[in-house]
Amino acid sequence: MTAEHLQKMFQLFDAVREGIATDDQVAELDEMLKRDGTMCKYYLEYVNMCVLLKSGKAFEQQHVPVPEV
């Protein structure tokens, strides 16, 4: 996946999350997700991260990686 592809992917993710995606953007994202299983994984991780951040749960001890001493 190229840097340009990643940038486009995250632009689409953000537009959908913010509720500002056009019908064409939603269709483009849908098509990209159908073609690329890795992109599906990124999208699920992105949505999960957004939910955790919005809920504040990302900052709970169980979600914060603690390095072993």
Please tell me the predicted confidence (pLDDT) of residue 41.
92
Q: Is residue 66 part of a domain?
A: no
Q: Is residue 65 part of a domain?
A: no
Confidence of residue 5 (pLDDT cuts 50, 70, 90): confident
Number of domains in the chain: 1
Output the pTM of the full model. 0.72
Give, in order, the Cα–Cα distances in Å from 66 to each of 19, 40, 61: 34, 28, 8
Express each pLDDT in 7-54 by its tens digit.
999 999 999 999 999 999 999 999 999 999 999 999 999 998 888 888
Please tell me the predicted confidence (pLDDT) of residue 61.
63
Q: Show the domain range for 28.
A: 3-60
Q: Is residue 69 part of a domain?
A: no
Sign, CA torsion 3/37/11/17: negative
